[in-house]
Amino acid sequence: MKLIRDYFFIFMGIGIVVALSFNNIILPLYVNWNNEIRVPSLTHTDLDKAVKILEERTLEWTIKDTIFRRDIPSRFIMDQYPEAGQMVKENRKIQLTINLPPAKLEMPDLIAFTERQAIIALDRLGLVLVETMSDSSDLYERTVVIQQSVLAGMPVAPGDSITITVSLGKRNLKKIMPDLLNKGLEEAERILQSAGFIVGKIQTTENSELLPNTVVHQSEVAGREFPRERVISVDLMITDGY
C-alpha cells in the first residue's frame, strides 16, 4: 500500500514538472522562437478580439483593405498578412482585411441619361441593375431613362437592386381636326389652338343668312387625323358684314 502511494506521489510530481515545463518553456518557445513571434490565426475573428491577441504577443496591426459581405458580421477579419504560423519580429504590423459596410451612398439621378450612361453610373457605385423595362414617352428619345425604381437622393448601398425604365420614343399620338362650320371666328380660333392647330388665312364671302364672322368653310376636313407633332395651318372662310 505504501509502495502504491509512493508511486502516486512520484507520478503526480512528474505531472507537475511537465505542466510547468510546458507552460514556462515549451509554450514560450512555440510563441517566441529565436526572438521571433509566431503569427496567430486571426481570420474569422472579431477585430476587437484580434487586437487583444496581437497585443498579448507584442504585435501591431493595420487595416490593409475592407470588403463588404452581407452574410458575414461587420468587423470580422477576412484575411491577414503575414499568414498564421509564420515567424515575425516583435512589433511587426499584421495587415488585416476586414468586413466593413461601406459609407452610405445616395442614389444618383438617372433621368435623361442614356441606358448606357445609367449602367456605367450604377456600376461605379456597386449597384446592381436587375431589370430594364421600356415605355413610350413624349418627352424623351429612345433608350433614354424615364424612370428609376429608387428616387434620386435616397440612401443606397453596394449590392442593392435597381430597375430602370427607358423610352421607346414618342407615342403615336394623333390630333383630330375639329368641325368649325357655323361657329363664330373667335370661337373657331380658340378651338383650333386647343386642338393643336394654327389659324391660317382668313377670307370672307357674302352670306345674308348667317351672322357676320361665321365660318362657312375650312381648308381641312373635320374629323381628319394628323400626327400630334405635325404643324397644320387651317385656312378659314367667314361671312362678311352686312
pLDDT tens digits for 134-192? 988 878 888 999 999 999 999 888 888 999 999 988 776 788 999 999 999 999 999 99
The C-alpha atoms of residue 104 and residue 12 are separated, in whole angstroms, by 62
The C-alpha atoms of residue 231 and residue 228 are separated, in whole angstroms, by 8
β-strands 233-239, 198-205: how paired? parallel
**Residue pair 1/49 in contact by the 8 Å Cβ criterion:** no
Of 46, 65, 99, the position where a domain reaches its end is 99
Same structural domain, 9 and 23: yes
Same structural domain, 159 and 189: no
Counting the structural domains of the chain, the total is 4
pLDDT of residue 113: 96
Residue with cell string 522562437: 33
CATH number of the domain bearing residue 113: 3.30.10.20
What CA–CA distances, in Å, run from 236 to 215, 217, 219, 224, 240? 7, 6, 6, 16, 12
Q: Is the pTM of this model over 0.75?
A: no
pLDDT of residue 25: 53
Give the lowest-confidence range in 70-74, 132-136, 208-212, 236-240. Answer: 70-74
Range of the domain at 17: 1-27
pLDDT band at 234 (very low <50, low <70, confident <90, very high): very high
Give the lowest-confidence range in 12-21, 76-85, 213-222. Answer: 12-21
Tell me the mean pLDDT in the region 49-66: 92
pLDDT of residue 38: 93
The pLDDT of residue 223 is above 90 = yes
Of 99, 115, 149, the position where a domain reaches its end is 99
**Residue pair 88/50 in contact by the 8 Å Cβ criterion:** no
